Structure 1
Amino acid sequence: MARAGRHVVLPVGERDDRILPTTPALAVVLVPILLTAFVILYGFPGDTGRLFAWTIRPELTPMVLASAYLGGAWFFVRVVHESRWARVGAGLLSVTLFAALLGVATVIHWDRFNHGSVAFWLWAALYFTAPFLVLAAWRANQRVAAPPRSDDVRIGPVARAVIAAGAGLALVQGLVMFSVPSVVIPVWPWQLTPLTCRVVGAVFCLGSAGLVVLRDRRWVRLRLMVEVEVVMLVLMLLGMVRARGDLHPDRPLTWLLLSGFAATLAASLWLWHAMASAERSSGAV
C-alpha cells in the first residue's frame, strides 16, 4: 500500500473513483459565496466601493473577476452532483493556485482594501483558508482515484497539443501579470493597478487546468473544465461589450486578447460538441 504524504493510497483494486463526502460539503459552502460575488461584481460593477472588499476601477475588471466566480460556481455545483472523481479532479489544483494567489495579493496590497467592510473580512477569510481546504480535498480524493477505464474517450494528439499550449500560455501570462505588474500595466487593453493586475493574472492561471492533458488525455478529465471555460469566456466577452469604453483600441494587445478569447471560445465549443458525439458513439458515461 503506497503513501502520498500522510494519505494512504489504496491498492488499485480498491480505488472506485468516488468523490469523498467532504468534497461536495466544501462545494456546498463555496457555491453561495461565489454566486453572491458574481451578482455584486457583474450586476453592479460600478458600486464595488460600497458592496465589495475593495473599490475596483474601471468596471471591466470586476466583470472579469465575476466571470471567474460564475465559472467556479458552476464547477462546484457539478462537484456536488457528480459521483466520479475523474470528472472534477483536474479543476481543484487550478482553483488552489487561484485562491493562493489572491491570498498573497491581499497581503501585498492590504492597504487597498475596505477594512471596515464585512465583504473584506469574508474575502480575507476565504482566500486565507480556501487554498488549504481545496488542496486537502484534492489530496484526499487522489487516494481513491481509479485507473483509466477502457471505455473512456481519448482526446486526439492535435487537440491535446493545442489544449496544452493554450493552458501553458494562460499560466505563463497569469504568472507574469502577478509577478511583474509594472511590465503588463502599460500595454494591457484596459486600465489596471498593481492589485487588479495581480487579480486578473490569477484569473488567467485558472487556465492551467488544461495541462492535465499532458499526463491524461481522457475527455472525462477535461469536459467540465471546458464547460467552465465557456461560461467564463462568454461572460468576459459580454463584459467587454458592456464596458467597451474601458478598452484602449490603440493598444495592439486589445485586439489580440479579444480575438484570442473569441477563437478559444469557438474552439472550446467545437471540441465539446465533437467529444460529446464521440462519447455517445462509444457509449461512454
Structure 2
Amino acid sequence: MTLWRADRGDDRVLPFTLAVSYLVLPFLLVAVVLLYLLPERTDELFAWTIEPPLTAMFLGSAYVGGIWFFTQVVRLRRWHRVQYGFPAVVLFATLLGVATALHWDRFHHGHVSFVAWAVLYATTPFLALAALLLNRPADPRTPETYDIGVPRPVRLVLGAAGAVALLVGLALFVVPSVGVELWAWELTPLTARVVGAVLTLPGAVDVWLFLDSRWSSFRWMFQAQLASLLLINAAWIVERDHLLWERPVTWLFVVGVVGALVVYATLYAWCERPTRASAVDRGGPAVR
C-alpha cells in the first residue's frame, strides 16, 4: 500500500490529502471569524477592505462550507465521499489567486491577514490539484452497502442548475464590469470576481451529478452547501439595507438563494430517508 499515490479502488484518503485538509482548516476558521462575524472591520483586520459588509459575509459563508467539507475529509477518510469537492476547491482557489494578482494594489500589504491570504492562494490551487490527481484512482466506482441512486431526472435538473451557477460565476470573474453594473449589491471589480468565484463552488460540485448517481458521493457535499446557503440567507437578511432592490437581479438572487436552500434541504431529506431505512432494515447502523 503506497502512501503518496492511491491504489485503484481502495477508497482511502491519502496522507497527502489529509495534510492539505489540516493545513487549510485553520485559515478557513480565522477567515470566517473575520468575514462573517466582523464584516465591518475588514479595513483593519482583513487582507483588504471589503465594502459593503454583505460581500464579506458572502465570502465567509463559502468558507463555512469549506470548513464542513475539509472536516469531512479528515473525519470520513473515504475518497469517493469527498472527491467531487476537490475540483471545486481547485477552481475557487485558482480564481482567487488570479484575482489577487490582478488587483494587487487593493490589498493591505504587510498585514498578517494579507500574508496569510497571499500564501494560501499561491499554494492551495497546486496542493488541492495534486491531492485530486494522486487520490483520484481510489474511487471504487461502486455504491456503498446502504447507498441509493439519485434518479436521473433529479441529477439532470441539479446538474443543469450547477452548470448555470458555474457559468454565471465565471462570467462575473471574466467580465467583472457586469457585476459592478448589475449585481444585487454594490461591487468593485475585485469583489465582483470574488463573488463570481464563490458562485463556481456549488456549480463545480453539481455538474458531477451528470456522471455519478451514488448518493454517498454527494451526501457530504450537500451538507457543506446547506451550511453555506443557511449563512448566505442569514447574511442578506441582516444586511438587506445594502441590497439594491431596484435591480431585477436582486430579486433573482434572493429568490435563488432561498429556493436553493429549500430544494437542497428537501432533496437531502428525501435521499436520506431511504438510505437510513435500508440500513435499519438490514440490521446495520444508521449511515453517518
Q: What TM-score results when the alignment is normalised by the length of structure 2?
A: 0.92
Deviation digits for residues 164-213 of structure 1, max 9, x if unmatched?
01110110010000000112221111000000000010000001111111
Residue 213 of structure 1, aligned match among 203, 209, 212? 209
Query: For residues 192 and 52 of structure 2, what CA distance do their matches in structure 1 show?
Result: 12
Aligned length: 276
Aligned twin of 2:272:
276
The answer to whether the Cα contact below 8 Å between 1:177 and 1:200 also exists between their aligned partners in 2 is yes
Q: Could you say if the C-alpha distance between residues 205 and 89 of structure 1 is closer, same or farther in structure 2, counting changes exceeding 3 Å?
A: same
Residue 161 of structure 2, aligned match among 145, 158, 166? 166
Residue 185 of structure 1, aligned match among 180, 199, 202? 180
Question: Where in structure 2 are the equivalents of 1:246-265 lying within 5 Å?
Answer: 246-265=242-261
Query: For residues 68 and 138 of structure 2, what CA distance do their matches in structure 1 show?
Result: 24
Aligned twin of 2:18:
24
The answer to whether the Cα contact below 8 Å between 1:212 and 1:221 also exists between their aligned partners in 2 is no
SS in 2 for 1:143: helix
Counterpart AA for 1:33: F
Query: For residues 138 and 172 of structure 1, what CA distance do their matches in structure 2 show?
Result: 22
Query: For residues 36 and 209 of structure 2, what CA distance do their matches in structure 1 show?
Result: 32
Residue 111 of structure 2, aligned match among 107, 117, 133? 117
Query: For residues 127 and 168 of structure 2, what CA distance do their matches in structure 1 show?
Result: 26
SS in 2 for 1:249: coil
Aligned twin of 1:228:
224
Which ranges of structure 1 fall in alignment gaps of 5 or more residues?
1-6
Aligned twin of 1:73:
67
Query: For residues 242 and 95 of structure 1, what CA distance do their matches in structure 2 show?
Result: 28
Residue 45 of structure 1, aligned match among 32, 36, 39? 39
Aligned twin of 1:202:
197
Offset of residue 224 of structure 1? 1.3
Aligned twin of 2:139:
145
SS in 1 for 2:232: helix
Counterpart AA for 2:10: D
Q: Could you say if the C-alpha distance between residues 121 and 150 of structure 1 is closer, same or farther in structure 2, counting changes exceeding 3 Å?
A: closer
Query: For residues 172 and 111 of structure 1, what CA distance do their matches in structure 2 show?
Result: 27
Query: For residues 45 and 9 of structure 1, what CA distance do their matches in structure 2 show?
Result: 41
Which ranges of structure 2 fall in alignment gaps of 5 or more residues?
280-285
SS in 2 for 1:146: coil
- Bigger mean CA deviation after superposition, 57-66 or 80-89: 80-89
What's the RMSD between the two structures over aligned residues? 1.5
Deviation digits for residues 234-276 of structure 1, max 9, x if unmatched?
1011111111111011111111110111111001001111111
The answer to whether the Cα contact below 8 Å between 2:80 and 2:138 also exists between their aligned partners in 1 is no
Query: For residues 172 and 188 of structure 1, what CA distance do their matches in structure 2 show?
Result: 15
Offset of residue 281 of structure 1? 2.6
Query: For residues 124 and 27 of structure 1, what CA distance do their matches in structure 2 show?
Result: 18
Taking every aligned residue pair, what percent have the same amino acid on both sides? 44
Aligned twin of 1:4:
none
Offset of residue 116 of structure 1? 2.4
Deviation digits for residues 144-164 of structure 1, max 9, x if unmatched?
221213743110122111110
